[in-house]
Structure 1
Amino acid sequence: MLKLNEKLHILLSIVIFSGIVFSCSSNNDELFFYEKEDFKLIGWKQKGSFEKEFENSTFAKWGYIRGSEVAIILYENPEIADSQGNIEGSDQTEILDEPESTDLDSGDTGAFYGPKVEKTTCRGFDKITVFRGECPRREPLFTAFKVDGNALIMIEPLRTENQESTKQRLGQLIESLKKKINR
């Protein structure tokens, strides 16, 4: 009888230990399902649409948060966002090392963006080019992106930011949004 009790005690201990381990473990990469209204919680103001149609997306708009342009692309589920969103985010933020000349930007001294980038901006001004109306470097407007849950979020850098600080700010915006959603 003692052996049976020992076996039951061991089995019960294993079950309790397993329950504690699984209930106490948390997944930091919890998959959120965002809705377009959620982004208003962090001050996002929708301003416009993309000409491009983002494949498998349910919502694709750009707007502003605290002086920076931010694009929100929502997908039906996190799996589609993970596959399609990473492709689209990479395409929309592609910066080239060497400029390409285009007919569209004939006054520019160089187009430093990939062929699929829709929104571009002029960067690298000096005092002379401002007066000539030229654009020294035409680059993608959005320089950082992150796929989180069912969303692709792309962000424009502030004038004082480098690539790393733009990515950090994007991460902070997403964390702030998750805290406010509180689902």
Structure 2
Amino acid sequence: MNRFLLISRVQLLLISAMLIVMVAVACGSAEDESLVASGGDDTTPQRVRIIESTQIFTEDDIKAIGWKGQRDFQLDYPEATTFKWGYLNQTEVGVLIYASAEDAKTLGVAAADDQTFRRASDNQARDGDFTDRISCRRPVGSSAVKANSGSPSKSFSASYLEPNSDGSDEVLAATCTTRFPTYNDYTVVGNVVFMCEGDDGNLLDPSTNCAKVS
């Protein structure tokens, strides 16, 4: 009888331990699936995160985490109250702020998908003025970040290397031969959409900013 009780208790402990592990794994998987999605392909992965929040954030809240806003985007972002690019941790981050989290998860996600879109054939942006922030890669290796506008194209020198420099707009000196979207990853936190440049200005690399903002 005692031996039977001992075996039963051991079995009960083993079953309990297994249940705890299974619940922990299940919870972890559910969290990952609800917050993170992978896009792109094996060579150019894209990380998309959706973080639920009931707080309504303002531009001042975003500045409080170290983001330095520079200029408004040139294209239209329906219902966005703030649509601006700037810098966080030495790399470019575009910010879209909406009146509600629902607007951010619908209109904001649609805008972020559009601004991070890359052609499957060469990973470049679509032809035409559909992408607000374009990074040009020329044969000689120099680069510039171009903002679309209705008039002759303007460019900003590779200011992501000097994020504290205001710099002045100047006409792009040569044709942009390769046009990549500046942003690859994006994260939605409540009513805010963060669109992020890859680490160290590498356009196809994942963004630590978008991976850690919450």
Determine if the TM-score, normalized by the shorter chain, exceeds 0.5. yes
Unaligned 5+ segments in structure 1 are: 1-26, 100-110, 176-183
**Structure 1 residue runs of 4+, over 2 Å off?**
27-30, 125-130, 133-137, 158-165
Q: Deviations over 1:49-78 (max 9, x none)?
A: 111121111111111112211111111100
Partner of residue 70, structure 1? 93
Partner of residue 144, structure 1? 185
Matches within 5 A, 1:17-56: 29-31=51-53, 32-56=55-79
AA partner of residue 132 (structure 2): E
Larger Cα-atom Rg: 1
Partner of residue 46, structure 2? none
Match status 1:170 vs 2:214: no
Paired residues of 1:144 and 1:163 also in contact (CA < 8 A):
no
Q: How many residue pairs get matched? A: 134
How big is the shift at 1:120? 0.2
- Any idea what SS the aligned residue of 1:139 has? strand
How big is the shift at 1:84? 0.6
Unaligned 5+ segments in structure 2 are: 1-30, 36-50, 144-173
* Percent of paired sites with the same residue: 24
Partner of residue 132, structure 2? 118
Match status 1:79 vs 2:102: yes
Higher mean C-alpha displacement, 67-76 vs 157-166: 157-166
The TM-score normalised by the length of structure 1 is: 0.62
Distance 1:120 1:161 in 2: 13
Paired residues of 2:91 and 2:201 also in contact (CA < 8 A):
no
Measured at CA, do residues 127 and 164 of structure 1 come closer, stay the same or move farther in structure 2, by a change above 3 Å? closer
Q: Deviations over 1:82-106 (max 9, x none)?
A: 111110000001111236xxxxxxx
Q: CA RMSD in A?
A: 2.9
- Any idea what SS the aligned residue of 1:80 has? helix
The TM-score normalised by the length of structure 2 is: 0.54
Paired residues of 2:184 and 2:203 also in contact (CA < 8 A):
no
Measured at CA, do residues 66 and 97 of structure 1 come closer, stay the same or move farther in structure 2, by a change above 3 Å? same
Higher mean C-alpha displacement, 81-90 vs 152-161: 152-161
- Any idea what SS the aligned residue of 1:112 has? coil
Distance 1:128 1:53 in 2: 31
- Any idea what SS the aligned residue of 1:86 has? helix
